[in-house]
Amino acid sequence: MKVSRIAATGALAASAVLVLSGPAFAHVSVQPEGEAAKGGYATVNFKVPNERDDASTTKLEVNFPTDHPLASVMPQPVAGWTAKVTKSKLDKPLELHGESISEAVTKVTWTATGKGIEPGYFQKFPLSVGALPEDTDELVFKAIQTYSNKDVVRWIEEQKEGAEEPENPAPVLALSAASEEGHHGSDASAEPTAEASEASAEHAETTEVAASSTDSSDTTARVLGVVGIVIGVAGVAYGVLAGRRRTNA
């Protein structure tokens, strides 16, 4: 009985590891560099993995929330891709640094000029965004991923409270509390100019390191999955052999 339980536990552990490690590198997601404080500006990265074995990702379209519009959105150049920023008129003008803003960015589209994101790889698309809203804890971006074989994956499903994660979740940017130093017209919340250029240069120097670190995390997840399978198989095999020995005895 104990042997059977060990075998069953091993198989369950293998399945659990695979379930937990899979989603870690499957979805289009968005994360800030540092933090994204309410009322300030931030640099955010949209991380796009390739989920296909036989096609490359050749286009990414990110739609911005219209209930919390952002007046300033600046893409950082990405080698092998072009970026198009689309602005639309606002139903109600925004007050930003004492000025009335009548339009905001509603979409950014990246299109590959070469092979795109090939199978087994991912790509980060950085943006400088602001000013971030002060009346919400998160921003939901709906993304559309297009492959070279014309397949389209719509990452547009919003997470419902108390429900399981949807199959194609929309990227969500969590906003942190506003700091006193970076609030209402201070240097930290002013529209980025020279600071943004410096940040872009720094990001360019560290892109390779960041990619290596993230890739290492994904590799770890895969290794854990393999280890889980090995443990499960070993447990089952041990149970079978023990059962045979008891029968022969």
pLDDT band at 75 (very low <50, low <70, confident <90, very high): very high
Looking at residue 90, its pLDDT comes to: 84
Higher pLDDT, 194 or 89: 89
Q: Is the pLDDT of residue 25 over 90?
A: no
Structure tokens at 73: 């959105």
pLDDT above 70 (res 96): no
Q: What's the CA angle centered on 122, arms 46 and 35, to 5 degrees?
A: 30
pLDDT at residue 81 in the model: 98
Cα–Cα dist 149/136, whole Å: 38
pLDDT at 214: 44
Q: Give the pLDDT band (50/70/90) at residue 162.
A: confident
**pLDDT at residue 227 tops 60:** no
pLDDT of residue 185: 36
> What is the pLDDT, as a whole number, of residue 239?
53
The pLDDT of 89-113, averaged and rounded, is 85
pLDDT at 95: 73
- Tell me the mean pLDDT in the region 221-229: 53
Residue 71 has a pLDDT of: 86
Q: What is the rounded CA–CA span in Å between residue 80 and residue 111?
A: 9
CB 106 within 8 A of CB 87: yes
Distances (CA, A) of 42 to 37, 38, 71, 126, 128: 8, 10, 13, 10, 6
Lowest mean pLDDT among 16-20, 45-49, 96-100, 199-203: 16-20
The predicted model gives 197-203 an average pLDDT of 47
Answer yes or no: pTM beyond 0.95: no
